[in-house]
Amino acid sequence: MKVLGSFFGFNSSARGMSIQRRKMDLISQNIANADTVRTETGEPYKRKYLKIEAEQNSFVKNLSTENQMLKLSVSNQNHIPASNERPNVSLTGKLEDVNVNEMVDEKQGDMVYMPDNPDADEKGYVQMSNVSVINEMVDMIAATRSYEANLQALNSSKQMAKDSLEI
């Protein structure tokens, strides 16, 4: 969902909530498959995670966008030293500059001695999944808190928009 106009805070919160929901989906999938020693490919289940990267823009580039600019206005020219260029402040944040990629953790799982398991090697060891349920639960708590923070920011933006309509 994309909201245009003066309500650009909605987009940021909605994008954050979407990312955290996707992260919680992957974590729950990891927990569900934590004991899977053989997948369709014949290997143990590999932990999945989200890699979230923002495009690194320079500060000046962010300030010099063409749309939705505010120019600093002064009531007296003596307050701010005169210059040929007026400072600009950008009101837009490009959410498309955020890359979200699903990654697979290639770290090897523990080797457990289970000679009766059909997946055991010639020495009787079975390679387990590399998922740690404790780490996944910690990640899920962090994702839940981030989701809640984005929800609170969205609700605050809605309340500000509602209050501005009452003026």
- Residue 27 CA to residue 10 CA, distance in Å, equals 26
Reported confidence tier of residue 96, pLDDT bands at 50, 70, 90:
low
Output the pLDDT for position 48: 94
- Report domain extents, the chain: 8-34+48-104+131-165
pLDDT at 79 over 60: yes
For residues 49 and 103, the answer to whether their CB atoms sit within 8 Å is: yes
Reported confidence tier of residue 57, pLDDT bands at 50, 70, 90:
low
